[in-house]
Structure 1
Amino acid sequence: MPDTHMIPWTAGTWTRRPITIAEHDGALVAAAAEGSDAWRHTAYGFVHADEHALLAPLGVGEAMEVTFRAPWSGQFDQAGILLRADAENWVKAGIEFADGHLGVGAVVTRGSSDWSLGRADDWMGSDITVRLSRWPDAVIVRARAEHAEWRLVRVAPFDGAAPASAGPLLAAPTRAGLTVTFTRWVRTAADAALH
Protein backbone atom coordinates (compact mmCIF):
# COMPACT_ATOMS: atom_id res chain seq x y z
CA MET A 1 0.00 0.00 0.00
CA PRO A 2 1.53 3.38 -0.97
CA ASP A 3 2.24 6.01 1.68
CA THR A 4 -0.74 8.27 2.24
CA HIS A 5 -0.21 11.77 3.61
CA MET A 6 -3.03 13.81 5.10
CA ILE A 7 -3.12 17.35 3.76
CA PRO A 8 -4.01 19.99 6.37
CA TRP A 9 -6.94 22.22 5.46
CA THR A 10 -4.58 25.18 5.94
CA ALA A 11 -2.20 23.88 3.21
CA GLY A 12 -4.42 24.92 0.31
CA THR A 13 -5.42 28.17 -1.34
CA TRP A 14 -9.06 28.88 -2.25
CA THR A 15 -9.94 29.81 -5.83
CA ARG A 16 -12.89 31.63 -4.22
CA ARG A 17 -13.63 31.54 -0.50
CA PRO A 18 -16.91 29.85 0.43
CA ILE A 19 -19.63 31.85 2.20
CA THR A 20 -18.74 30.15 5.48
CA ILE A 21 -15.86 27.88 6.48
CA ALA A 22 -15.46 26.06 9.80
CA GLU A 23 -13.54 23.11 11.18
CA HIS A 24 -15.39 20.57 13.35
CA ASP A 25 -13.69 17.45 14.72
CA GLY A 26 -11.08 17.55 11.97
CA ALA A 27 -13.60 18.04 9.16
CA LEU A 28 -13.91 21.13 6.98
CA VAL A 29 -17.49 22.41 6.65
CA ALA A 30 -18.05 24.91 3.84
CA ALA A 31 -21.11 26.63 2.37
CA ALA A 32 -21.23 27.49 -1.33
CA ALA A 33 -22.37 30.82 -2.72
CA GLU A 34 -25.52 30.75 -4.83
CA GLY A 35 -24.56 30.82 -8.51
CA SER A 36 -21.07 29.35 -8.02
CA ASP A 37 -19.89 26.98 -10.76
CA ALA A 38 -17.06 26.01 -13.11
CA TRP A 39 -17.81 25.72 -16.83
CA ARG A 40 -16.50 27.07 -20.15
CA HIS A 41 -18.64 27.72 -23.23
CA THR A 42 -19.95 24.34 -24.45
CA ALA A 43 -23.72 24.08 -25.06
CA TYR A 44 -24.65 26.84 -22.59
CA GLY A 45 -22.48 29.61 -24.07
CA PHE A 46 -21.34 31.01 -20.72
CA VAL A 47 -18.12 30.93 -18.72
CA HIS A 48 -18.31 30.35 -14.95
CA ALA A 49 -15.09 30.44 -12.95
CA ASP A 50 -16.42 31.14 -9.47
CA GLU A 51 -16.36 27.66 -7.93
CA HIS A 52 -14.96 27.14 -4.43
CA ALA A 53 -11.87 24.93 -4.60
CA LEU A 54 -9.11 24.51 -2.02
CA LEU A 55 -5.99 23.72 -4.06
CA ALA A 56 -2.53 22.36 -3.31
CA PRO A 57 0.16 21.22 -5.80
CA LEU A 58 -0.27 17.80 -7.44
CA GLY A 59 2.53 16.38 -9.58
CA VAL A 60 2.77 13.58 -12.11
CA GLY A 61 2.97 10.25 -10.29
CA GLU A 62 0.80 11.50 -7.44
CA ALA A 63 -2.86 11.00 -6.58
CA MET A 64 -5.19 13.05 -4.44
CA GLU A 65 -8.33 11.88 -2.66
CA VAL A 66 -11.14 13.92 -1.13
CA THR A 67 -13.93 12.45 1.03
CA PHE A 68 -17.15 14.39 1.65
CA ARG A 69 -20.90 14.32 2.27
CA ALA A 70 -23.71 16.78 1.62
CA PRO A 71 -27.51 17.12 1.67
CA TRP A 72 -28.09 17.01 -2.09
CA SER A 73 -31.26 18.78 -3.21
CA GLY A 74 -30.58 21.76 -5.48
CA GLN A 75 -30.26 21.45 -9.26
CA PHE A 76 -26.55 21.03 -10.09
CA ASP A 77 -25.41 20.93 -6.43
CA GLN A 78 -21.85 19.62 -6.69
CA ALA A 79 -18.85 18.59 -4.65
CA GLY A 80 -15.70 16.63 -5.26
CA ILE A 81 -12.24 17.55 -6.46
CA LEU A 82 -10.79 20.07 -8.93
CA LEU A 83 -7.49 19.65 -10.79
CA ARG A 84 -6.41 22.97 -12.32
CA ALA A 85 -3.49 23.91 -14.53
CA ASP A 86 -4.95 27.29 -15.58
CA ALA A 87 -8.26 28.99 -16.42
CA GLU A 88 -8.73 26.96 -19.62
CA ASN A 89 -7.29 23.58 -18.56
CA TRP A 90 -8.88 21.82 -15.62
CA VAL A 91 -10.89 18.79 -14.52
CA LYS A 92 -13.62 18.71 -11.90
CA ALA A 93 -14.92 15.35 -10.73
CA GLY A 94 -17.33 14.11 -8.12
CA ILE A 95 -21.01 14.26 -7.33
CA GLU A 96 -23.59 16.40 -9.06
CA PHE A 97 -27.33 16.43 -8.32
CA ALA A 98 -29.08 16.92 -11.65
CA ASP A 99 -32.68 16.44 -12.76
CA GLY A 100 -33.64 14.78 -9.47
CA HIS A 101 -30.83 12.21 -9.48
CA LEU A 102 -27.45 11.88 -7.83
CA GLY A 103 -24.72 11.44 -10.40
CA VAL A 104 -21.01 10.71 -10.37
CA GLY A 105 -19.07 12.25 -13.20
CA ALA A 106 -16.48 14.66 -14.49
CA VAL A 107 -16.12 17.86 -16.48
CA VAL A 108 -12.94 18.01 -18.54
CA THR A 109 -12.01 21.44 -19.86
CA ARG A 110 -9.44 22.17 -22.57
CA GLY A 111 -10.60 25.60 -23.71
CA SER A 112 -14.21 24.35 -23.68
CA SER A 113 -15.90 22.03 -21.19
CA ASP A 114 -17.48 18.62 -21.64
CA TRP A 115 -19.58 16.70 -19.11
CA SER A 116 -20.04 13.01 -18.39
CA LEU A 117 -22.38 11.76 -15.68
CA GLY A 118 -23.64 8.36 -14.53
CA ARG A 119 -26.40 7.78 -12.00
CA ALA A 120 -25.45 7.01 -8.42
CA ASP A 121 -28.73 7.38 -6.55
CA ASP A 122 -27.72 4.55 -4.21
CA TRP A 123 -24.88 6.77 -2.94
CA MET A 124 -27.35 9.25 -1.42
CA GLY A 125 -26.52 9.77 2.26
CA SER A 126 -23.07 8.16 1.97
CA ASP A 127 -19.60 9.50 2.50
CA ILE A 128 -18.11 9.69 -1.01
CA THR A 129 -14.45 9.63 -1.99
CA VAL A 130 -13.13 10.92 -5.31
CA ARG A 131 -9.59 10.09 -6.42
CA LEU A 132 -7.51 11.77 -9.16
CA SER A 133 -4.27 10.16 -10.38
CA ARG A 134 -1.85 12.15 -12.56
CA TRP A 135 -0.02 10.23 -15.28
CA PRO A 136 2.47 11.80 -17.71
CA ASP A 137 -0.29 12.39 -20.30
CA ALA A 138 -3.56 11.79 -18.45
CA VAL A 139 -5.66 12.05 -15.34
CA ILE A 140 -7.50 8.98 -14.04
CA VAL A 141 -10.68 9.64 -12.04
CA ARG A 142 -12.18 7.07 -9.67
CA ALA A 143 -14.92 7.36 -7.05
CA ARG A 144 -16.65 5.25 -4.44
CA ALA A 145 -19.28 5.47 -1.72
CA GLU A 146 -18.22 4.55 1.81
CA HIS A 147 -15.87 1.54 1.50
CA ALA A 148 -17.27 0.02 -1.69
CA GLU A 149 -15.09 -0.83 -4.68
CA TRP A 150 -13.67 2.02 -6.75
CA ARG A 151 -15.66 2.95 -9.86
CA LEU A 152 -13.66 4.18 -12.86
CA VAL A 153 -15.25 7.51 -13.80
CA ARG A 154 -12.97 8.95 -16.47
CA VAL A 155 -9.65 8.75 -18.29
CA ALA A 156 -8.86 12.15 -19.79
CA PRO A 157 -5.86 13.82 -21.42
CA PHE A 158 -3.95 16.18 -19.13
CA ASP A 159 -0.56 17.76 -19.81
CA GLY A 160 2.03 16.20 -17.53
CA ALA A 161 4.43 19.10 -18.13
CA ALA A 162 1.93 21.63 -16.77
CA PRO A 163 2.21 22.56 -13.09
CA ALA A 164 -1.19 21.88 -11.54
CA SER A 165 -2.96 21.97 -8.20
CA ALA A 166 -5.90 19.99 -6.88
CA GLY A 167 -8.22 19.74 -3.92
CA PRO A 168 -11.75 19.86 -2.50
CA LEU A 169 -14.44 21.51 -4.65
CA LEU A 170 -17.98 22.69 -4.00
CA ALA A 171 -20.43 24.77 -6.03
CA ALA A 172 -24.13 25.60 -6.03
CA PRO A 173 -25.21 26.97 -9.41
CA THR A 174 -28.91 27.34 -8.62
CA ARG A 175 -29.41 27.89 -4.90
CA ALA A 176 -28.10 29.19 -1.61
CA GLY A 177 -27.46 26.90 1.33
CA LEU A 178 -25.42 23.97 -0.01
CA THR A 179 -23.13 22.98 2.86
CA VAL A 180 -20.53 20.28 2.24
CA THR A 181 -18.60 18.45 4.96
CA PHE A 182 -15.14 17.37 3.80
CA THR A 183 -13.76 14.71 6.13
CA ARG A 184 -10.52 13.70 4.39
CA TRP A 185 -7.92 15.20 2.03
CA VAL A 186 -4.87 13.08 1.19
CA ARG A 187 -1.98 12.80 -1.25
CA THR A 188 -0.60 9.40 -2.25
CA ALA A 189 0.95 7.57 -5.21
CA ALA A 190 -0.90 7.57 -8.51
CA ASP A 191 -2.69 4.44 -9.70
CA ALA A 192 -0.26 2.16 -11.51
CA ALA A 193 -2.85 0.66 -13.85
CA LEU A 194 -6.35 1.25 -15.19
CA HIS A 195 -7.61 -2.28 -14.52
Structure 2
Amino acid sequence: MDGQRVIDWADAEWLNPPLRTERDGRELVVTTKDHSDFWRTTSYGFVKDDGHALLAEFPPASATEVTFVVAQFETLYDQAGLMVRVDEGTWIKAGVELTDGVPHLGAVVTSGKSDWSLSPVPDWLGRRVTLRASRTGNAVTIRARCEEGAWQMVRLAPLAPDADALAGPFCCSPQREGLQVRFTRFVQGPADTSLHV
Protein backbone atom coordinates (compact mmCIF):
# COMPACT_ATOMS: atom_id res chain seq x y z
CA MET A 1 0.00 0.00 0.00
CA ASP A 2 1.79 3.14 -1.24
CA GLY A 3 1.41 6.48 0.52
CA GLN A 4 1.17 4.96 3.99
CA ARG A 5 0.98 7.07 7.12
CA VAL A 6 1.93 5.52 10.45
CA ILE A 7 -0.70 6.09 13.11
CA ASP A 8 0.87 6.58 16.50
CA TRP A 9 -0.80 4.48 19.18
CA ALA A 10 -1.40 7.67 21.19
CA ASP A 11 -3.29 9.28 18.29
CA ALA A 12 -6.10 6.68 18.42
CA GLU A 13 -8.72 6.22 21.13
CA TRP A 14 -9.64 3.10 23.05
CA LEU A 15 -13.11 1.67 22.88
CA ASN A 16 -13.13 -0.25 26.17
CA PRO A 17 -9.55 0.15 27.46
CA PRO A 18 -7.80 -3.17 28.11
CA LEU A 19 -6.41 -4.44 31.39
CA ARG A 20 -2.93 -3.15 30.52
CA THR A 21 -0.94 -1.64 27.66
CA GLU A 22 2.81 -1.37 27.38
CA ARG A 23 4.91 0.40 24.78
CA ASP A 24 7.89 -1.66 23.64
CA GLY A 25 9.77 0.59 21.27
CA ARG A 26 7.37 1.18 18.37
CA GLU A 27 5.22 -1.80 19.33
CA LEU A 28 2.24 -2.01 21.67
CA VAL A 29 1.57 -4.98 23.95
CA VAL A 30 -2.07 -5.24 25.02
CA THR A 31 -3.45 -7.44 27.82
CA THR A 32 -7.17 -8.25 27.71
CA LYS A 33 -9.75 -8.05 30.46
CA ASP A 34 -11.77 -11.05 31.59
CA HIS A 35 -14.45 -12.38 29.20
CA SER A 36 -14.11 -9.46 26.77
CA ASP A 37 -15.83 -9.85 23.39
CA PHE A 38 -17.72 -8.30 20.48
CA TRP A 39 -20.90 -10.11 19.42
CA ARG A 40 -24.59 -9.41 18.78
CA THR A 41 -27.36 -11.94 19.34
CA THR A 42 -26.96 -14.58 16.59
CA SER A 43 -27.09 -18.18 17.85
CA TYR A 44 -25.89 -17.38 21.38
CA GLY A 45 -28.63 -14.85 22.20
CA PHE A 46 -26.36 -12.39 23.98
CA VAL A 47 -24.86 -9.00 23.17
CA LYS A 48 -21.23 -8.33 24.07
CA ASP A 49 -19.57 -5.02 23.30
CA ASP A 50 -16.69 -4.90 25.77
CA GLY A 51 -13.76 -6.09 23.65
CA HIS A 52 -10.79 -3.76 23.22
CA ALA A 53 -10.35 -1.68 20.05
CA LEU A 54 -7.92 1.19 19.44
CA LEU A 55 -9.65 3.26 16.77
CA ALA A 56 -8.82 6.12 14.42
CA GLU A 57 -10.84 7.77 11.66
CA PHE A 58 -11.50 5.57 8.62
CA PRO A 59 -12.63 7.94 5.85
CA PRO A 60 -13.91 6.92 2.42
CA ALA A 61 -11.26 5.94 -0.15
CA SER A 62 -8.78 4.94 2.56
CA ALA A 63 -7.29 1.70 3.85
CA THR A 64 -6.15 0.76 7.34
CA GLU A 65 -3.61 -1.97 8.08
CA VAL A 66 -2.81 -3.59 11.42
CA THR A 67 0.00 -6.08 12.05
CA PHE A 68 0.27 -8.31 15.12
CA VAL A 69 1.98 -11.49 16.30
CA VAL A 70 -0.13 -14.64 16.70
CA ALA A 71 1.30 -15.78 20.04
CA GLN A 72 -0.16 -16.89 23.39
CA PHE A 73 -3.42 -17.85 21.69
CA GLU A 74 -4.16 -20.68 24.12
CA THR A 75 -7.83 -20.50 25.15
CA LEU A 76 -10.97 -20.95 23.06
CA TYR A 77 -11.92 -17.74 21.19
CA ASP A 78 -8.68 -15.83 21.99
CA GLN A 79 -8.59 -13.35 19.11
CA ALA A 80 -6.92 -10.27 17.63
CA GLY A 81 -6.99 -8.33 14.41
CA LEU A 82 -8.61 -5.26 12.89
CA MET A 83 -11.98 -3.67 13.64
CA VAL A 84 -14.07 -1.31 11.50
CA ARG A 85 -16.76 0.37 13.57
CA VAL A 86 -19.66 2.74 12.94
CA ASP A 87 -21.60 2.12 16.16
CA GLU A 88 -22.46 -0.70 18.59
CA GLY A 89 -24.75 -2.35 16.03
CA THR A 90 -22.65 -1.79 12.90
CA TRP A 91 -19.10 -3.12 12.83
CA ILE A 92 -16.68 -5.64 11.35
CA LYS A 93 -13.92 -7.53 13.11
CA ALA A 94 -11.43 -9.62 11.18
CA GLY A 95 -8.34 -11.45 12.34
CA VAL A 96 -7.06 -14.64 13.90
CA GLU A 97 -9.10 -16.56 16.47
CA LEU A 98 -8.38 -19.80 18.32
CA THR A 99 -11.12 -22.37 17.65
CA ASP A 100 -10.92 -26.13 18.24
CA GLY A 101 -7.32 -25.66 19.35
CA VAL A 102 -6.23 -24.22 15.98
CA PRO A 103 -5.74 -20.60 14.84
CA HIS A 104 -8.36 -19.60 12.27
CA LEU A 105 -8.53 -16.59 9.95
CA GLY A 106 -12.03 -15.20 10.20
CA ALA A 107 -14.40 -12.28 10.12
CA VAL A 108 -17.58 -11.17 11.85
CA VAL A 109 -19.81 -8.68 10.05
CA THR A 110 -22.49 -7.09 12.22
CA SER A 111 -25.47 -5.10 11.05
CA GLY A 112 -27.93 -5.45 13.90
CA LYS A 113 -26.90 -9.11 14.28
CA SER A 114 -23.54 -10.81 13.87
CA ASP A 115 -22.42 -13.49 11.45
CA TRP A 116 -19.16 -15.48 11.53
CA SER A 117 -16.86 -17.11 8.99
CA LEU A 118 -13.61 -19.01 9.61
CA SER A 119 -10.82 -20.86 7.84
CA PRO A 120 -7.98 -22.72 9.63
CA VAL A 121 -4.46 -21.26 9.43
CA PRO A 122 -2.43 -23.53 11.75
CA ASP A 123 0.91 -22.47 10.25
CA TRP A 124 0.31 -18.82 11.24
CA LEU A 125 0.95 -19.53 14.93
CA GLY A 126 3.89 -17.52 16.25
CA ARG A 127 4.11 -15.37 13.12
CA ARG A 128 3.29 -11.80 12.10
CA VAL A 129 -0.10 -11.33 10.48
CA THR A 130 -1.40 -8.21 8.73
CA LEU A 131 -5.06 -7.32 8.19
CA ARG A 132 -6.10 -4.63 5.71
CA ALA A 133 -9.51 -2.97 5.50
CA SER A 134 -9.97 -0.98 2.30
CA ARG A 135 -12.98 1.33 1.95
CA THR A 136 -14.34 2.12 -1.51
CA GLY A 137 -17.85 3.14 -2.57
CA ASN A 138 -20.39 1.27 -0.46
CA ALA A 139 -18.07 -1.53 0.63
CA VAL A 140 -15.12 -2.59 2.76
CA THR A 141 -12.70 -5.19 1.42
CA ILE A 142 -10.86 -7.20 4.08
CA ARG A 143 -7.57 -8.89 3.19
CA ALA A 144 -4.95 -10.70 5.25
CA ARG A 145 -1.47 -12.09 4.87
CA CYS A 146 1.11 -13.89 7.01
CA GLU A 147 4.58 -12.35 7.12
CA GLU A 148 5.40 -11.22 3.54
CA GLY A 149 3.14 -13.81 1.89
CA ALA A 150 0.46 -13.12 -0.69
CA TRP A 151 -2.67 -11.22 0.30
CA GLN A 152 -5.76 -13.38 0.82
CA MET A 153 -9.29 -12.13 0.37
CA VAL A 154 -11.21 -12.53 3.64
CA ARG A 155 -14.45 -10.64 3.18
CA LEU A 156 -16.32 -8.09 1.10
CA ALA A 157 -18.89 -6.34 3.30
CA PRO A 158 -21.27 -3.39 2.92
CA LEU A 159 -20.52 -0.02 4.49
CA ALA A 160 -22.59 3.07 3.70
CA PRO A 161 -20.57 5.67 1.78
CA ASP A 162 -21.64 8.42 4.18
CA ALA A 163 -21.01 6.43 7.38
CA ASP A 164 -18.68 7.96 9.96
CA ALA A 165 -16.43 4.97 10.55
CA LEU A 166 -13.38 4.21 12.67
CA ALA A 167 -10.80 1.45 12.28
CA GLY A 168 -7.85 -0.02 14.13
CA PRO A 169 -6.48 -2.97 16.10
CA PHE A 170 -8.71 -5.03 18.36
CA CYS A 171 -8.33 -7.99 20.70
CA CYS A 172 -10.48 -9.89 23.18
CA SER A 173 -10.61 -13.10 25.18
CA PRO A 174 -14.20 -14.30 25.67
CA GLN A 175 -13.24 -17.20 27.95
CA ARG A 176 -10.53 -15.71 30.14
CA GLU A 177 -8.46 -12.73 31.27
CA GLY A 178 -4.89 -12.01 30.26
CA LEU A 179 -4.43 -12.68 26.56
CA GLN A 180 -1.36 -10.66 25.54
CA VAL A 181 -1.20 -9.41 21.97
CA ARG A 182 1.80 -7.64 20.45
CA PHE A 183 0.73 -5.13 17.81
CA THR A 184 3.68 -4.09 15.65
CA ARG A 185 2.16 -1.78 13.06
CA PHE A 186 -0.85 0.53 12.52
CA VAL A 187 -0.93 2.48 9.24
CA GLN A 188 -3.37 4.20 6.91
CA GLY A 189 -3.14 4.86 3.19
CA PRO A 190 -5.21 5.02 0.02
CA ALA A 191 -7.85 2.38 -0.65
CA ASP A 192 -7.24 -0.52 -3.01
CA THR A 193 -8.70 0.16 -6.44
CA SER A 194 -9.55 -3.45 -7.27
CA LEU A 195 -10.85 -6.56 -5.57
CA HIS A 196 -7.92 -8.49 -7.03
CA VAL A 197 -4.37 -7.64 -5.94
Cα distance between partner residues in 2 of 1:37 and 1:160 = 27
Corresponding residue SS for 1:66: strand
1:30 maps to what in 2?
30
Q: Which residue number corresponds to residue 111 of structure 1?
A: 112
Could you report, residue by residue, the CA deviation over 1:135-156 in whole angstroms, capped at 9, with x for unpaired residues?
Answer: 1111100001110000100001
1:176 Cα deviation (Å)? 1.7
The aligned residue for residue 166 of structure 1 is 167
* CA displacement at 1:160 relative to structure 2: 1.5
Matches of 1:6 and 1:60 in 2, distance apart?
Answer: 18
Q: State whether structure 2 residue 66 is matched by structure 1 residue 66.
A: yes
**Two-structure CA RMSD over aligned residues (Å):** 0.8
Is 1:44–2:44 an aligned residue pair?
yes
Unaligned runs of 5+ in 1: none
**Paired AA for residue 162 in structure 2:** A
Which residue number corresponds to residue 146 of structure 2? 145
* Counterpart amino acid of residue 131 in structure 1: R
CA distance in 1, matches of 2:76, 2:2: 37
TM-score (norm 1): 0.98
Question: What is the aligned partner in structure 2 of residue 187 from structure 1?
Answer: 188
Q: What letter corresponds to residue 180 of structure 2 in structure 1? A: T
Question: Could you tell me how far 1:40 is from its partner in structure 2?
Answer: 0.2
Q: What is the deviation of 1:2? A: 2.2
Aligned length: 195
Q: Quick check: 1:11 aligned with 2:11? A: yes
Deviation at 1:99, TM superposition (A): 1.2
**CA-CA distance at 1:20 after TM superposition:** 0.6
TM-score, with structure 2 as normaliser: 0.97
Unaligned 5+ residue runs, structure 2? none
Task: Indicate the SS of the match to 1:105.
Answer: strand
Distance between the aligned counterparts of 1:175 and 1:86, measured in 2? Answer: 25
